[in-house]
Structure 1
Amino acid sequence: MAKDAKPAEEGAEAPPKKSKKLLIIIVLVVVLLVGAAAAAFLLMGSKHDGEDLDDEEVAEETVKKKPAKKKDKSVPPTFINLDPFTVNLVPETGDQYLQVAVSVELDTPESQAMLTAMMPRIRNNVTLLLSSKKASDLQPKEGKEKLASEIQGEINAAIEPPTKNKRGEIVLPEGPVVSVLFTSFIIQ
């Protein structure tokens, strides 16, 4: 009987139990791969050529697209007055100062929150821009118009930083600022 019991004990030796951790890891990897594939499919965007779309599909597509920056004529423009800037200009004939008060026209009323949140960076960038100018460059109308477009670019870049394309060129974003208007412009 001892002989019979011994082979039974050898056969009873079960293979080692595989840990549940391995099974959980495999399931998580599969779920992540499926999720990544779904995300890639959504990012590539499926084109619907004349197909009827469900309400959920239409809602998903409208969320993905950037809002069009078309001006709705029924909504009045949104203007924000910035605090005045006072800077030293690049010296030409002694010390000269520039004091400028600016109003900024925004594309949507919702953009005001972004502008307000980024105000310290905006004020810094505009101050650096203004202090790099010469009085003789700012005297003619064209100089003021050029300065307005440069200020617009600085504000938009502060809110939405520029990116680089595949060639390495810097691409400036459109940004929420539509125009910059001077409400006061004093060179002394």
Structure 2
Amino acid sequence: MATPSQPAPAATGAPAPVRRSRKIVLALAVLSTLAAAGGAAVFFMRGNAVLAAPAPKPVKPIFVTLEPLTVNVLPDARQRFLHVGLTLKVNDEKAQARVNEAMPELRSRLLLLLSNRDPAGLASLEDKLALADQIRTELNRPVAKGLPPQGIEGVGFTAFVLQ
């Protein structure tokens, strides 16, 4: 099978080129597998290190409940009233103390804000959400010049009756 221009592989003592290329391919496959395994190990170890870090402790919300209010709203064909209960979500204990100290002023502001309402503008969910935002803005105003805002984050309705 050997041709005159090529000597037989056994006669030269050199390994066959096919076997050398198989060894190279096998070596490259082993190296790439090890590299992939090492990369995966680093990836998962970093991921576990991030997951193992202690999560920040959630801040417990502080709520201040206001006594329910009943106010007359703008009359249409008949006399109408609004009965509303509110809970205020505040930033911290200092804000809670400021709200409790200023409660008479805040209730007065709330009565004035609610009594100047059109009953038709209080019917939909969007109207109630807008009202809650207006209440938060109004009650957050400082009660006196030089004092900080009340620190109210949100307003929640616990009762809402329009008759």
Bin of the TM-score, shorter chain as denominator length: 0.5 to 0.7
1:31-77 deviation per Cα after TM superposition (whole angstroms, max 9, x unaligned): xxxxxxxxxxxxxxxxxxxxxxxxxxxxxxxxxxxxxxxxx853200
Say if 1:84 and 1:151 are closer, same or farther in 2 by CA, change over 3 A.
same
Residues 158 and 131 of structure 1: CA distance in aligned 2, closer, same or farther (over 3 Å): farther
Within-5 A mapping of 1:13-92: 73-92=57-76
Task: Describe the superposition over 1:106-127 as per-residue Cα deviations: whole angstroms up to 9, x where unpaired.
Answer: 0112211111111111000000
| TM-score normalized with structure 1 length | 0.53
Residues 106, 176 of structure 1: 8 Å contact kept: yes
Unpaired stretches in structure 1, ≥5 consecutive residues: 1-71, 164-172
- 1:135 paired with 2:119, answer yes
Q: Give the match's secondary structure for 2:93.
A: coil
Distance 2:94 2:149 in 1: 16
Structure 1 consecutive aligned stretches of length 4 or more whose deviation exceeds 6 Å: none
Stretches of structure 2 lacking an aligned partner (at least 5 in a row): 1-55
Distance 1:114 1:142, change over 3 A: same
Aligned equivalents of 1:155 and 1:114: distance in 2? 11
Instruction: Report Cα offsets for 1:54-108 as digits up to 9, x if no partner.
Output: xxxxxxxxxxxxxxxxxx8532000110011100000112100000000000011
Deviation at 1:135, TM superposition (A): 0.8
Root-mean-square deviation (CA, aligned residues, Å) is 2.2
Partner residue in 2 for 1:179: 154
TM-score, structure 2 normalization: 0.61
Q: Cα 1:73–1:126, aligned 2, differ >3 Å: closer, same or farther?
A: farther
1:122 aligns to 2:97 (yes or no): no
Give the greater-gyration-radius structure (CA).
2
Larger RCO (CA within 8 A; separation ≥ 6): 2
Distance 1:146 1:129, change over 3 A: same
| Map of 2:77 onto structure 1 | 93
Give the corresponding residue for 1:155.
Answer: 139
